[in-house]
Every structure is written in C-alpha cells, then in structure tokens.
Structure 1
C-alpha cells in the first residue's frame, strides 16, 4: 500500500506540473486547486518514503558443508548474530557489540571438538560475555557455569527463573561473581530478571509459558540479522534445537522478534 501511495504521489505531481506549465504557456494563472494538488502530491511522496521499511534482514541459513574456521567480522552497526552452541544447550545473542550468553552447557564436547563452546567463541572472535542469562536451577551445570564466569570475568548475571535464587547453584555463582568483582572493581551481583526490561537497546520480556521459560527479544527497526548453526544439519526456524526452541519473526514494519524457549529442568 505504501508503494501505491508513492507512485500515486509521483503521478499526481507530474500531471499537475504539466497542467501548470500549460497554463503558464497560455498565460493563465495557476489556480488554488493546482497549488493544493501540488502540496498534496509532495506530502504523499514524503510520507511514503518515510513509511517504506528497509528490509535488510537475511533469513537464517545453514550450509552443512561450510567450515567454521573463518572468523566472524566484528559488526559495528545494528546487526544481530545468533549462535547455537553445544547441541543447543547454549545460545549467544550478539547485538550492538554486546554478547549475551543464555545458559551454559551441562555437558561439554571434547576440548578439541570444533563445536566445543570455547572453541566456537574463539572461532567467532567472541572475547567477552557482557551478560549471562540462566533459565534453569539445575545444579548439573554449576562447574561449567563457574568456568565460563571465571574465564570471561562475567559480573552481569541474571536469572530468568526466579527459583534459582537461594539455591546451592546461586550460592556458588555468587562466590564466583564476587571473585570477578574484585578483579573488575565492580559491585554487581546476580539478580532475577524483570518481566520487561531493556537490554542493550533490545526490549526483553521474560515469562513462563506452557512450553517453558520464554525470553522474547524485540530489536529496533531495520536491524540486519544472521543466524549461525555450528552443529546442526537443519534449518533453525521453528525447530526444537535440543534444549532450546528458537523462533525468529520479521514483520513488514522492519522489526525482528527473537523468541527463545527453554525447558531444560528435566534433561540430563
């Protein structure tokens, strides 16, 4: 519809301009109606240009024959990179030069495996984790969580599931973060996520649904996005990638909505 009004405005401006030229040639005044039509045409064109979304979003694509040896370019614009790691046990959202890690694997692949979480970080030049979000209180991931927190000096940790608070897992994470705080001269402590908040210019909703704990990230208009699967021979859209289900939508107004559903409480 926006394109229709754009062409309509251009056509109207062209026709009225021809009429005005003709009236000038025959030495007749350009009437108020003609001027009004010119203004209407110009306004229609300007509004149409403003409303046209720049659809610059690349659908999530996976090429099973590709190698992961090529490092990812560090993006400086509003670009979303999504990484699924260790059979979907972890998700990395890379946006606006920030890295958000969702969950830490309870079982790591071999250290020489290209899909090992630390190897994937190195491959994609991920040298820092700005925030760690945990969706499960399962103690089975404790050692790996502390390893990740220590390696990347993570002091910004949020619990998507409030039941994590005051558990043994919470106590160990708290001790790990305090050690990081001593290094970074920080005072941040783990906390429960709000139901709605803004994280690094993304609107984030945290809720429990029948499917599991659901995090919905809504990105600003006209962000370019790319999803990277390092371990899977299938498309990411609408599939249950083991521990997390990832849903990506992109509307006609230019907004990306990223939904991550976690239900790992009963998994080994």
Structure 2
C-alpha cells in the first residue's frame, strides 16, 4: 500500500510540475489549486517513504552469521572422533558423525554409585544413545549385562565380529531382546555377522580373526581429529576375568587415522 501511494504521489507531482511549467510558458499564474496539488503530492511522497518498511540488514547479517556458525559447528563436530574406554578396558565406545558405536559389554560392572560405572561414564560424556553394538566373542560371562545394555539403550543394530556367536544360546537371548526393541522402534533389524570389510557410519572397517583374537581396523579421513578418553583403570574391580582390549592408534602411509582394537579372547579366565 505504501508503494502504491508513493507511485501516486510521484505521478501527481510530475503532472503538477508539467502543468506549472506550461502555465509559466504561457505567462499565466500557477494558481493556488496547482500549488495545493503540488503540496499534496509532496506530502504523499514523504508519508509513503515513512511507511515503507526498511530491511534490517544487521538482523539479516546476524541470521546469516548464525547459519554459517551452525554449519561450522556441525562440520567441526563431524570431523572429530572420540574413543572412550569403559570399565578397565572391557568396553570401547567410538563416537563419530554423531553416532556411538559400543564395542563389547563389560563382564563385570562397577558399583552403581562408582564414577567408573559404565552407565555413569556414558552419562558424564552426555552419551544417551548407542547406535550400534559390536560383540567380538561368544566367550562371555556377561549375558545379563548385554541384555541390560540392549534394553536400556534400545539397541536394534547389533553385529557379531566373530561368527562363532551366531546360533548360540547367547545369540538367541540377544535376538529375543532385540525383537522386543523392534516392537518399540517399529524396526525389523536383527543381529548379524559383520562383513570382513564394510563402512560403519562413514568409518571404513575391517574385521580379522587370528590367534590373538578379533581385530577391528578402523580407517578415518585425514581431516578427522581423534581424542582418546581412558578411564581410571581401577584394579579393585570385582573378579579377575577382565574382557580387555588392546588399542593401537596410528596413521597409514597416506595419512589416514588407523585404530586397531583387538579383543584378546585368551585373556578371559575362569
């Protein structure tokens, strides 16, 4: 509406000026009527300028800044890998691309009020979901803990790094628990054996079994920054049979980050 009156005011102003010029050429008086129209035209133009909304460029720049900032934060977050060791190395959490991969579940858990308790450590790092659980051996004495973790975090994506887990009693118990999770999540995913080579949320992963146990090799892009967060390794943890992991972090010839996690099955003692 303000634009309409601005155009109307400009047209009126132009017409009055032309009439005034013509009257001057003919040596006639401009007259009060023409002057009145001229005043009205000028007033209309001024009011129109006042009413036209002026774009707040500072606000626009602020919004653009927020968008850029959020994009930078997102890119920065996706370029970071966090590795957490839980319960004296019984479990490993790989956090990358906003995904959390849990490798194995502790055979023994610290006391509930202990800061080193698996769930307390995850909570302290604001890890509220587990996107994938990888189990590297059937030689567990922690079936209850596995089922607890699966139910607690509603995990339906479970992979066996060692195919010997498949078709065992442990596999049956886990599958039954996952089916219960599927009912909640409206999913049909069931536990499966890992491929020798596959991509896990953007991490190139290789699984290899030898006399040392199961080794997971994780390959990440060059621009990824990695941080290792190791727990206290309290030696007073209950029992002597610790399902441990050997972790090696390095770079290959092309500068890619390589993480090797070996689950030493032979370390389990009765």
TM-score band, normalised by the shorter chain?
Answer: 0.5 to 0.7
Deviation at residue 251 of structure 1 after TM alignment: 4.3
Query: Normalization by structure 1: what TM-score?
Result: 0.67
Q: Which has the larger radius of gyration?
A: 2
**DSSP 3-state at the match of 2:184:** helix
Matched, 1:267 2:269: yes
CA-to-aligned-CA distance 1:68-90 (integer Å, 9 cap, x gap) = xxxxx997221110000001100
User: 2: distance between equivalents of 1:139 and 1:87?
Assistant: 16
CA-to-aligned-CA distance 1:217-248 (integer Å, 9 cap, x gap) = 00112100100011249xxxxxxx97100000
Deviation at residue 254 of structure 1 after TM alignment: 3.3
More helix by share: 2
User: 1: distance between equivalents of 2:150 and 2:78?
Assistant: 27
**For the Cα contact (< 8 Å) 2:182–2:189, is it kept in 1?**
yes
Deviation at residue 181 of structure 1 after TM alignment: 0.2
> Superposition pairs for residues 64-143 of structure 1, below 5 Å?
76-143=77-144
CA-to-aligned-CA distance 1:182-238 (integer Å, 9 cap, x gap) = 0000000000000000111111000112321100000112100100011249xxxxx
**Count of equivalent residues:** 189
Q: Relative contact order: is structure 1 or structure 2 higher (C-alpha 8 Å, sep ≥ 6)?
A: 1
**For the Cα contact (< 8 Å) 1:134–1:161, is it kept in 2?**
yes
Structure 2 stretches lacking a partner, 5+ long: 1-72, 235-241
Q: Aligned pair in 2 of structure 1 residues 167, 242: CA closer, same or farther (>3 Å)?
A: closer
Deviation at residue 252 of structure 1 after TM alignment: 6.2
User: 2: distance between equivalents of 1:139 and 1:256?
Assistant: 30
Matched, 1:182 2:180: no
CA RMSD of aligned residues (A): 2.0
User: 2: distance between equivalents of 1:175 and 1:220?
Assistant: 37
> Superposition pairs for residues 119-268 of structure 1, below 5 Å?
119-232=120-233, 243-251=244-252, 253-264=254-265, 266-268=268-270
- Runs of 4+ in structure 1 deviating by more than 2 angstroms, as ranges, are 73-77, 250-254, 264-268
Structure 1 stretches lacking a partner, 5+ long: 1-72, 234-240
CA-to-aligned-CA distance 1:27-46 (integer Å, 9 cap, x gap) = xxxxxxxxxxxxxxxxxxxx
In structure 2, the partner of 1:46 is: none
